[in-house]
Every structure is written in C-alpha cells, then in structure tokens.
Amino acid sequence: MAPLTIVEKILSRKAGAAVRAGDFVTVPVDALMIHDSNASTTIDAFHSFDSARVMPGTDVIMVMDHFAPCPTEAAANMHIKMRRFASRHHIKLYEEGTGVGHQLMCEQGHVFPGEIAVGTDSHSCTYGALNALGTGIGSTEAAGVLARRKMWFRAPETIRVVWHGALPTGVTAKDVALKTVQEIGLRRAIYKVIEFGGELISRLPVEDRMTICNMGVEVGAKAAIMPPDDILLQWIKKRPGQHRVFEAAEADPGCSYSLVLEMDAGLLEPLAACPPMVNLVEPARRLKGKPVNQVVVGSCTNGRAGDFRAVAGVLAGRKVAPGVRLILVPASQAVLAELLADGTMKTLVQAGGQLIPPGCGPCAGYHGGLVGNKEVVVATTNRNFTGRMGSREAELYLASPLTAAAAALSGMITDPREVM
Amino acid sequence: MALKTLLQGKAHKFGDDITTDYIIAGKHRSKAENVLDLRPYVFNEIRPGFAGSVAQGDILVAGHNFGMGSSREHAATLIRACGIEAVLAKSFARIFYRNAINIGLPVIECDTDIISDGDLLTVDLRQGMVRNLTGGREISFTPIPASLRSILEAGGLVNYLKQIK
C-alpha cells in the first residue's frame, strides 16, 4: 500500500480501504463533544430526525462550559434543555464549573490515539495532541452523528511542520503556536491538516502539545495532529476514566505532504498576536509599554496546571500592577484541584488575581470578564478578533502565560524575560 | 423545501477573513434561547443594522476565507434568516462551508472582484453562472460537487440523511 499520512491512515482504517487526500469517505466517529453554546440547536436538529434514538457506539459528552455559571435566563433555560436531553438519552453530562469541553475530552478519557473525535467547537483540533483526528462541526452535523454515528469527510492534504531545537528561557508552547500561525497565515491551511513533528514536539508534555494543536484552526486547518510516542502513551495510561482498545497512527515514511515547513525553536522569543487577527504576531519586546487593563489566564489553549504554575512563578511574592484585573480561569475542576493542592492558586490570589469557575470564561465574550471601550487585554486564549471579548473598541493581544504574567505585573506588555 | 436554483438579489459585499465572531459574536448567544431571535446582532461588530438592510433573496458577497473561526452553525443560520439566499466568496473557511451546506444555504466559490456592494446579481446554480446586472459582467463558477448538491437539494443534512436511511 502506498505510504499514508497520519490522517490518511486514520481514515483508511475506519473506511476499511486506502483513503488518499481528496477522497470522500463516510466513516464512524469515535467521540463527540457538544457544548452549551451549540447544544440547543443540536437538540432541535436531532429532534427533526424521524428516529429520535441516539445511535450507540460513539462516546458522547455534553458540556456546560460557555455559560458557566449562567449569565442570563436564556442560558439557564438552554442548560435545562441540555440536562433533560442528556438524562433521556443517557449521555454523560459535565455540569457548569466542571471545565472546558476540550480539556474534559482529553483529561477525562474520551479521546484515544488513532480515533476520530469531533466537537461542536472549532478548537476540537486540540485532540490532535493525543494523535486523534479532531475537528469542529456544526449543530446539524452533530445531530447527524447522534442519529447515525457516521460523518462524511473529504480526506485532507497534510502540511508537515517540523519544529527543531529547544525552547529558550521565557519561551513556551504558546509562542510555538503563535509562530506557526504567523508562518502559515490565516488561509494557507484551509481544508488541510497540520501534522507537527520534530525533536521539540517529541520532548513536550502532552499539555503543551494541546496548546499547539489547539491553535491549528487559526490557520484554517481541518485538524492539527501529532505522532504518538511514549510520553503520550504513558499520559493516556495514567488518565482517569474508561479505557478502550485503540490503535495509534503514525505517518508512513515517504508519505505525501503538500508542504513541509522546517522551524527552529531556538530562534523563538516571547511573542504576542496583535488585534484583530491571530497571524499579526510581534515579539513582545516590540510592544513594550502598551498599557494593559485586563489579563486573562486560562482557556482550552492555556488553562492547564503548568500554565498557572508559570504565571505563579513570575507573580510569587509580588502584586499585580494597580489598575490591572488578572482573571484566572482554570480549564477544569481537576486542574483547579491541582492548583489548590500545590499552593499555586493561593500564590496567584495573594498576588491579586481573581478566580472564576472553570470553563471558557471571557475568551469568546460569553461571561466572566467582558471588557469595555478602548480597554486593552492580554489573554492566553486563542482569538483576538474585534469585539470577541466585549467592546468592539477593545484591543486583544494573545500571548503565553509568562507574557501574560509579565503584563499583569508591570501593567503593560512586557517581555517576560525582563521580570523572570 | 426544494432548492431554488435561480436566484436574484442585491449584493451585500464584505472583504477577506470575515470571522464567525463578526457574523454573530459569541457574546450575543446567551441573549435568546432561539438563535433566530439574534438577527438584530448579525454583523453587529462590523456592519451594525445589517439585518434591516437585507431584502429576502439578497446575496452575500465576500473575499477570501469567509466564515473563519468558530464552528457556530448559527452564523450560517442567521445569515439565511436575515433573507440572504446564497453566499459568494473567493474561498470559505471549512466549517462554515460545511455548516451552510448542512442547513441548505448555497455557498459558491468564485471571483468576486467584479461585484460591488449594492449590485443586482442573478445566480444560476445549475449553470454555474453569476451575472452582475448592474456591472454588466458574468462570472462562471464550478457548480457545487454532486455529493454536496444532493444535501443542498434535500434542504440540508437532516432531510438528506432521512432520505438515504
């Protein structure tokens, strides 16, 4: 058989025949995540099928992360609708405050290597860190998966991004993600997959790999994916929850890539994506002095324990600058428990941080820290589009937890190497 | 609902990289249980009052990468609910494209440079032809692939899947 990319291999196994880029296939989906912002429309679409029975075989979860806790009556009513649906169809429901869907899919054991996992959220590409084909779908498509378990795919071309070298001091996986977006741009990967590799990736913990895959959709990609290795397999083994048989997928030598990019991590410095697009990336030092009103640490991109520990490392024994709001939103309850147990959260709250419940928080402007006119935000989140976090006159800068910590400490955008 | 294959309407022209946050920002989602009640907020971030400016049958025209970002299907649902019956763009973000097909909204990749805001257009989905009646120019496009057209013709994915059951 001709050599296959990781994603061609995953689709081929599901289809039971060799699938190459450009082929259309209809295959079963292993896992599905439905979150509260798109659950109501998914439920409505599902009810418009004749057979209102969820087809068994897909690991389905419903998650209340976008409205957690509810900011409006309408949101509360949408949550009631979700609870009824989940209960009626015996679907695993993650309540308000449990965490962000993507984090729960990975952390609580709903995604396994070599699988196809979809979600009603564009950042479902995060699952690629676990060697799964993860991609975002709409509500009607999700209803189709509930009713039929299957989905059609056009097998995508793959862009291989090889990260060589090691991260210099002050540089994190988020900077790798931002640099990747800058290099590829907003459109070059539309309908393609980004397959990451190289010695940098192979040394990163799974949590950091999730940060990088999470931003794959910002270049238009259908998915971002990484090869399996011992670090991943050990991580999967230690995870709580269910276990199921899986078959990790590696690229065959000599498989066909539409583009190969070789990147050197050793040349990286702390970065920030400037408003209003994720590819407008600049070194943080070049933005030095930009006054900041709010700093947000969290999200499916950077809301894990290591991210908060990095912030605590900068802020320990120090105070957030006067006039700056530091919002802390752990990606899950499990992450929060870890941060409470090791004292990280105490350090951050003593420094002046305000803790909000695990979930999406203000990332997409749903609740918990929207901003007003002309305000400037540094966030560890994944999108900085006009109006995303509140006022359309606000400016959103995306950066690593370290760069966010430096902004919280100094009250302005700052290269974190100056304050570490 | 059978697919209308001959459309005529006024162009509402947008640029490149229009995000789903611009189409309908996340911050509005919790304002109403029924997404259709969010019509007044469509394009609120970049073109406030959009819903009121659309007549039924109008056509949305954009540059590259239309609908980038979020997977929220109501970006497509709400564009249609405002009265838009087709979207023409140089290219689409993949989730938006798929969502539009799944709800039965025609999405057409073609050169949109010869269309200006307010131009009167006709779109022939079968022939693969856009005529700019104001500018007097024609643009041909590759008709939507057969497999996707069958979803569109069924009125969306739900009806399509019911048919093939």
CB atoms A140 and B103 under 8 Å: yes
Per-state percent for chain A, helix, strand, coil, to nearest 5? 35, 20, 45
pLDDT for res B3: 83
Residues of chain B contacting residue A222, judged by C-beta atoms under 8 Å apart: 94
Q: Which of B20, B27, B43 to mutate to test the interface with A (most CBs of A within 10 A)?
A: B27
Judged on CB neighbours under 10 Å (0-12, 13-18, 19+), A174 is buried
Residues of chain B contacting residue A140, judged by C-beta atoms under 8 Å apart: 73, 99, 102-103, 156-158
B158 → chain A, closest CA residue: A49
Alpha-carbon gap, residue A121 to A143, rounded angstroms = 14
**Neighbouring-strand partners of residue B8:** B122
pLDDT for res B144: 86
Tell me the per-residue pLDDT of B111-137, one tens digit each, with 9 for 90 and over: 999 999 999 999 999 899 999 999 999
Residues in chain A: 420
Q: Which of A184, A388, A391, A396 to mutate to test the interface with B (most CBs of B within 10 A)?
A: A388
The dihedral sign for the CA sequence B9, B12, B13, B17:
negative
**Whether residue B1 has pLDDT greater than 70:** no
CB atoms B64 and A187 under 8 Å: yes
Average pLDDT by consecutive 10-residue portion of chain A (420 residues)?
Answer: 94 97 95 98 92 91 97 98 97 98 98 98 98 98 96 96 98 98 96 97 98 97 98 96 94 97 98 98 98 98 98 98 98 98 98 98 94 98 96 97 98 97
Residues of chain B contacting residue A38, judged by C-beta atoms under 8 Å apart: 71-74
Q: Would you list the DSSP string of A323-370?
A: T-EEEEE-SBHHHHHHHHHTTHHHHHHHTTEEE--SS-TTTTTSSS--
CB nearest to B21's CB, from A136, A143, A387: A387
**pLDDT (average), residues B43-60:** 97
pLDDT for res A79: 98
CA A72 to chain centre: 25
CB atoms B70 and A147 under 8 Å: no
Element (H, E) at A135: strand A133-136
Chain A touched by B38 (CB under 8 Å)? no
Chain A touched by B81 (CB under 8 Å)? no
CB nearest to A222's CB, from B19, B27, B94: B94
Its pTM stands at: 0.97
The residue assigned the tokens 């971002």 is A224
pLDDT for res A419: 97
Chain A touched by B109 (CB under 8 Å)? no
Give the whole-number percent of chain B exceeding pLDDT 70.
98
pLDDT for res A32: 98
CB nearest to A140's CB, from B35, B157, B162: B157
Chain A touched by B30 (CB under 8 Å)? yes
A-to-B residue pairs, Cβ atoms closer than 8 angstroms = 142
Q: B128 to chain A nearest CA, in Å?
A: 22
Residues of chain A contacting residue B33, judged by C-beta atoms under 8 Å apart: 40, 74, 77-78, 81
pLDDT for res B165: 63
A374: left (phi > 0), else alpha (psi -120 to 50), else beta? left
